[in-house]
Amino acid sequence: MKKENIQNGIAIQSGKTTDSMEKLTKLCEQEAEKMLSTIEIPENEIVSVPFWAPEPGFPELICVGKFKRNESGKVIYELDFSESTL
């Protein structure tokens, strides 16, 4: 069973709230790809990382990246846009 870790303290800020969703999606994918080589994922855990569009005042959630290890031990991710506040 995979355990989800959302208390990791990692958050990514990318783009602006005025950017198109297509642009924000691309930016999030680029940032997630960069993280693949540096993020520490314990075995059998999922690490959730929020991706934010910073703005003065109130930042908006773009998506949540879920990072885990596959069967061969390689770190993979999935971006979940269902929680977006944009």
pTM of the model: 0.84
| pLDDT attached to residue 11 | 87
Q: Is 62 left (phi over 0), alpha (psi -120 to 50) or beta?
A: alpha
CA dihedral over 8, 76, 4, 85, signed as positive or negative: positive
Q: Which helix (H) or strand (E) holds 1?
A: none
Using alpha carbons, list the distances in angstroms from residue 32 to 56, 57, 62, 78: 24, 25, 13, 9
Ordered by start, the domain boundaries in the chain are 3-80
Tens digit of each residue's pLDDT (9 = 90 or more) over 12-42: 999 998 899 999 999 999 999 999 988 888 8
